[in-house]
Each structure stands twice: as structure tokens, then as C-alpha cells.
Chains A and B, each alone.
Chain A
Amino acid sequence: MKHLKSIGTAAVLTAAALVLAGCSGGGSSGPVTINYAIWDQSQAPTFQKMISVFEKENPDIKVNLQVTASAQYMTKLQTEAGNNALPDVFWMNPFNFPLYASQGAIQPINDQVKKAGFDANAIPAAMRDIYTYEGKLYALPNNRDDIVVWYNKALFKAAGLSDPTAGWTWADYQKDAAALTDASKGVWGTAVPIDFRDLFVNTVHQAGGSILSADKKTAQWGTSAVQQGMQYWADMSTKGYSPSVDQLSSTDQNSLLLSGKVAMIYAGSWMGVTFKNSQLAKDGKLGVAVLPKGPKNDASSTSSLGNLIPAKAKHPDQSYKFVQFLGSKEAGDIYTEGGIAFSAYPSADKNFVNYFSSAFDAQPIADQLKNTFNLPVSLNSPVWQSDITANLAPVIKGSVSVSDGLKKMNTDMQGALDKEATQ
């Protein structure tokens, strides 16, 4: 019996020694490996470039890039957050950020920024706002996008129209869409898919409205400005300037633009990389224009990715170092050269424009970037966003009036917001 006891003691001691050794291994000696989770395979090569620069500057840190398909990314992250198993640094979007911040799953970085002497103010305030929760900064966003009009120059020429220029208006857009539509050839002037980010949120803002009150507690789909912003699209769809909602749900607007079936669309700056390789661009027939001006303004929605650190970080210092590098001008330069998006530093905008110079003139995308607004975001936006498609498709189809459809949408979103308050 005594014999057994001593064996037990020895085992416990060995285990303890191993645990202690494990702890010290996570400290300063030897290189530390941190996991970095992203959701876009197409951006992986660009990030690998940034990582190798970072590893050269910080030989004691290794970064392991983990790509998860975007459809599963948030589901995976949510499970990891529930089990304190979040990656050391991970991508976040504006819509899901407030959940993670409000639940204390991630850590603010104000103190570390100050300690490291990093100039966070070099990042535009509007971008920092996206990742600020209750006055605390959680990320150093270093990429930004916008929405622009992409069009087919050949179809414009065939219809006898001149190319759109800055300062054009909603009325110009609708007039062009009408002139470009040619049912006999199967060509539509524009496309009206059920897309909040690319389409609706922009025109609602341009009409002077917002779907969410400033205190994020009240849904405002019923206001006249929102109605005006939605009427713009409903009109073009019901007049036949666009393929039907059903058609667009089986063939997306980008393919229709590239195949010459649709003459102009509202789409994100991130489509540039895909469009660059199209035949349309190779033929020099792809054009880009800033958004047409609405009743109040001609701003576009903008969004940024954030790199976050979990609240219970295993390597807080190393994770922060990497986050700071990703937020730096140096990383922004590498990022913009890949044509994926702009960085937080306007001086690098020309990299983005240059990337596309052989295919099309991307200057309007950079111009539009100076005229943007942040997306409306509440505590748990994915809930009310999942109601948008079902409620607004009938409006665009014309089977439900704009005011009735928006009334229903408003009720659903208000219900979701009220639930948020109790979470």
C-alpha cells in the first residue's frame, strides 16, 4: 500500500513539473506561435506576405494563418467564444463586433496602444468608431471598402449615351437604366437584387434617412426618407429595367454584368479583383463611376475588418504586437498593392488604383471613399438582417406596396431590437 502511495505522489509531482514547464514555455524563451483566423482564401496570399514581413521584424513570434470558409467562420467563432478557445488574433466584421465586445469575449487595446506609442489617430476616426464599444478601442482597422457603380461601356455606346460622370443624380441613373433596357435583346439597364449593403442602405442614406435611430434602440424603416430610398429601387424593378427578383436569386448581378445582360450595377469595391480578370475588362469595356446623387447626398456605405484579441489571450503581448503591425502603414501598403481594398492610410490609395490600371480606371472608387458613412449596427444585427430578404423581396417584386412592406420590416426589426435589450 505504501508503495502505491509513493508511486502516486511521484506521478502527481511529474504532472505538476510538466505543467510548470508548459507555462514557462509560453513565456519569453523560444519563439511563440500565434494563430490568426481569417475567412477569405483569396486574401490569404496577401496576408502571408504581411506575415513574413512581421516575422522578419519579430523573430521570436511565428504566425499561423488559419482560413475558414466565410459561411462557417462566424459559427465556429461563436462556439470558440463559448469555450474560451478563440484564436490568438482573428478577423471580425462590423455587424458581429458589438456582440463580442458586449459579452466581454475580446479585450480593449487602448492601454497597449498608449504603452507602445502607436499613433492610432492616424487611422480615420470613422474607422476607429466601428471598433469602439463604450468608449474603448478594440481593433486597429486597416482596410476599407465602398460601393460604386460598375457599368458596361459598350452598352452605353450602343444606346447612344455618354458615360456617367461625377455629380450625376438618381434621375440620371433611372433615365439611363430606361434607355439601356432592351427587352428584345435580353438586356436590362440595371439590376435590383435584394441586397442591403450594396443597394438599399446607400440610397436610404442618400435620401437623408437611416433605418436605425442614433441610440440604436428604434427601427426607422417607416420614415419617409427610408421609403424614398426604397422607392428608387422598387420603381426600376417594377418598370422592368431589371431582371426579376427570381432571376437574380438564381443568377447573381455580377455575372449578368460581365456577360453583357445588365448594363450597370451597384456593387462593392471588393469586386474589382474578380472583375479585373473578366473578358469585359480585358476588352476595355468595364467602367466605374461614383454613386449618383440622391435627394440629400451621394455618400456610400463603408466597412472595415477588425483584428481582435480574445479577452483571455494566451499570448497577449505577442498578439497585440501582430495586431499593431496589421494596423500599421507598412501593412497597409502591402494590402493595397493586392487590389483587395483600401487601407486606413490615404497615401496608399494610389497602390489600389495602380493595381487596376491595366484593366479599368479605378480612380472613382478612391474618390467615392472620401464620401462615405458607417453601416447601421445594433447589438445583434444578424437577427434583424435575416428578416430583410423575406420582407423586402415582395416590395421589389411589386407584390406589396413600399409602405406596407416597410411597415412589416419595421415591426420585425423593432422586435429584434427589443430582444437585444434583454440580452
Chain B
Amino acid sequence: MTSTVAPASYAARAAAERAPRPLGRRPGGGKDRRYEALTGYLMILPLFAGVSVLFFYPIGRSIYLSFTKTGIFRGETFVGLAQYQQLLGDSQFWASVAHTLLYALISLAAIPIAVFFAALLNVKGLRFRSFYRVLFFLPVVTMPVAVGMIWKYLFNSDFGVVNQVIGLIGIPKVAWLSQPIVVVVAIAIVGLWASLGLNIILMLSGLQTVPNDVMEAASLDGAGAVRRFMSVTLPLVTPTIFLIAVLNVIASLQVFDLVLIMIGPNSSSINSASTIVYYFYEVGFIQSNRGYAAAISVALLVLTMVVTAAQFRLQRRWVNYDR
């Protein structure tokens, strides 16, 4: 019935859409298809307009600015690749890249930690399960600024709780927030902690997709708990592990708020903690050099694409999509 009626009005058409229709090519002449296409474009217009103004234009503008030398407040002159040339020889930039990559590397520790906690939370008959889930998820919905402030106090070298605790087991005081490399590790620990809840939730949903019949079959074949986990569960959740790896690495490449809050521009250790986005902020907003800052942001875009592409290439070797 519905398939033979050419919709006369939008309301009639909407009613027609709700009714089931046979698969295959849609009926109607070219006029109808053009009408359909137009409706489609009209419907994505609001979103497209928003995305254009808020994303496409800024991205295009940033790329353009990266080829210019900018005035303090406004105006720019085209200088070609000069900003990128300077970037290649900028030791502070490369140090920021190294700190960012180190941070991203440490953030991958989220995977075993998330697997561990998710497996524990997935144990049958666990009491207060929802309570634990809320507990682990709380840091995710806490403001990064508050997280940074609290951890800054916890990491205080003289009066911080962290040093007090490790002091109990005889480890000497560590200058968490001022020693090169250690400072990046400290910030990465906070980042790990803050995003743990999200990773656990992802991992939990991954674990719940493991079919019971496969597990049962493995038990019948005589596989113990450890063997079942290593040979059945783990291969089946590799897509989730891959998702967590990609999301965490992309987020790590953009780390900024924790660096600003925990270290900040006035600290003597900022140069050992500076990440790419932090360096972008320093150049763009403290030194008022917007063209160079744009070049840094484009470099970050390229780096993110390269790293993510590499991850997608490597996944073929270890991610298992068979069920």
C-alpha cells in the first residue's frame, strides 16, 4: 500500500516512512529522489553549519596561520614554510614531543589495569557491585582542575601524602613535581587515575560480550580459570582493548590541563613537564606568537594522525574480530 503512494505532503510522507516497506530501490521518479536528497541536506544543515563554524573554519584558519607570521594582535604576512623550519630546530618543541609521547606510553598502562579491575567487578556474586562502579567512575566526572589541585598537594615533596606513604616502607622522598622525567610520570599517574573509570566501563562491556557457551565449552575441554582467561576471554576482548588503546593515546597527545594546574608557567620545572599542547599555549598566549603556535598545532594534528594510523595498521596482527 504505502509503496505505491507518492507522498503529497511531509506529514503523509512521514506516515509512509513509519510503515514497513519492502527492501530494494525506493520507488518514485527522479523528482522524488531529488526531493528526498533536498530533505536530507536540509536536515543536516544545522549540524553542518555548526560544525563548519566551530571545526572546519578554525582548522582551515589554523593551517593558513601556520604559514604566516602574525602581528601581536592582528594581521599576518605569508612566510611559507618558515615557521615549520623553525619548528624543526626548536629543542623545546622536541622536548615537548618527547614528554607527550612518554605520557602516551604510560597511559597505555590503563589497559592491564582496566582489564584487572573489570575482571574483578565482573566476578559473579560480587556484593555492592554498583557502588564500586560508581566509586571507580567518580574521577571521570570530576573537574580536571580539581583533580590537578588535589594531586598537586598529594605529590608535595615535603608534606605530601604520597611521600609519607612511601616513606613508611623506607623509600626516600621523591621530588615528584620538579625532577625531569619523574614529573611526566607523576602527571601520567594522575591522568591514568582520572580516566580509569571510563576504561573500566569500556572493558566491562567488552567482557560481557564474551559468550557463555564458549566459556562452557572451554571448561568442558578441561581449561582452568587462568587458561580460560588467557585463551578465550582475552582474544575475544581484543577489539575493546584496541578501542581503549586508541582513545587513550589520542587523549594523551592532547594533555594540557593537568600540566597547567599541577606545574604551571611559574614553576621552575615547567620545561621538563611541557607537553605539545602546553607549548602551544605558551607560544600562542604568553608569547603572543600565533603563527608559530598554529604551526605547533598542525604538527600535533599530523602526529596524532600518524600514531593513530600506525595503531590501525598494527591492529591487524593482534585484534580478533571473529566470534
Q: In this complex, what residue of A is CB-closest to B74?
A: A82
Query: What does the 1/0 interface line of A80-103 toward B look like (CB < 8 Å)?
Result: 011100000000000000010001
Give Cα A393 to B263, complex, Å: 15
Q: In this complex, what residue of B is CB-closest to A397?
A: B268
Which residues of chain B (232-287) have a CB below 8 Å from chain A? Answer: 265-271, 282, 285-287
A340 touches B (CB below 8 Å): no
Contact of A390 among B175, B268, B285, B287 (CB under 8 A): B268
Q: Are the CB atoms of B72 and A250 closer together than 8 Å?
A: no
Contact of B268 among A81, A383, A389 (CB under 8 A): A389
A386 touches B (CB below 8 Å): yes
Q: In this complex, what residue of A is CB-closest to B92?
A: A390
For A218, list chain B residues within 8 Å (CB). Answer: none
Min CB–CB distance B179 → chain A (angstroms): 7
Give Cα A339 to B154, complex, Å: 34
Contact (A386, B282) CB under 8 Å given A99-B72, A250-B178, A251-B156: yes
For B286, list chain A residues within 8 Å (CB). Answer: 382-383, 386
B17 touches A (CB below 8 Å): no
B157 touches A (CB below 8 Å): yes
Q: Are the CB atoms of B159 and A251 closer together than 8 Å?
A: yes
Contact (A245, B71) CB under 8 Å given A78-B288, A250-B156: no
For B160, list chain A residues within 8 Å (CB). Answer: 250
A247 touches B (CB below 8 Å): yes
Query: What does the 1/0 interface line of A407-423 toward B look like (CB < 8 Å)?
Result: 00000000000000001
Q: In this complex, what residue of B is CB-closest to A102?
A: B72
Give Cα A83 to B285, complex, Å: 15
Q: Are the CB atoms of A380 and B72 closer together than 8 Å?
A: yes
Query: What does the 1/0 interface line of A235-262 toward B look like (CB < 8 Å)?
Result: 0000000000111011100000000000
B10 touches A (CB below 8 Å): no
Min CB–CB distance A92 → chain B (angstroms): 14
Q: Are the CB atoms of B73 and A105 closer together than 8 Å?
A: yes
A194 touches B (CB below 8 Å): yes
B177 touches A (CB below 8 Å): yes
Contact of B71 among A75, A103, A393 (CB under 8 A): A103
Q: Are the CB atoms of B157 and A247 closer together than 8 Å?
A: yes
Min CB–CB distance B200 → chain A (angstroms): 31
For A389, list chain B residues within 8 Å (CB). Answer: 266-268, 270-271
How many residues of chain A get a CB closer than 8 Å to chain B's CBs? 23
Give Cα A386 to B270, complex, Å: 10
Contact of B288 among A105, A245, A250, A380 (CB under 8 A): A380
Q: In this complex, what residue of B is CB-closest to A245?
A: B268
User: Do most interface residues of chain A lie in helix, strand or loop, or is the interface mixed?
Assistant: helix
Q: Are the CB atoms of A251 and B287 closer together than 8 Å?
A: no
For B282, list chain A residues within 8 Å (CB). Answer: 386
For A194, list chain B residues within 8 Å (CB). Answer: 268
Give Cα A119 to B289, complex, Å: 39
Give Cα A81 to B121, complex, Å: 54
Min CB–CB distance B293 → chain A (angstroms): 12
Min CB–CB distance B8 → chain A (angstroms): 28
For A246, list chain B residues within 8 Å (CB). Answer: 157, 175, 177-179, 268-269
B216 touches A (CB below 8 Å): no
For A250, list chain B residues within 8 Å (CB). Answer: 152, 155-158, 160, 177-178
Residue of B73, B152, B270 with most chain A CB atoms under a 10 A cut-off: B73
Q: Are the CB atoms of B72 and A390 closer together than 8 Å?
A: no
Q: Are the CB atoms of B270 and A78 closer together than 8 Å?
A: no
Give Cα A75 to B283, complex, Å: 12
Q: Are the CB atoms of A382 and B287 closer together than 8 Å?
A: yes
Chain A residues in the interface with B (C-beta under 8 A): 75, 78, 81-83, 99, 103, 105, 194, 245-247, 249-251, 380, 382-383, 386, 389-390, 393, 423
A-B contact pairs, 17 of them (CB 8 A): A81-B73, A82-B74, A103-B71, A105-B73, A246-B175, A247-B157, A247-B158, A250-B156, A250-B157, A250-B177, A251-B156, A251-B159, A380-B287, A382-B287, A383-B286, A383-B287, A423-B72
Since A75-B285, A383-B286 are in contact, a sample of 5 more A-B pairs with Cβ atoms closer than 8 Å, ordered by chain A residue number, is A78-B288, A99-B72, A103-B71, A246-B269, A250-B156
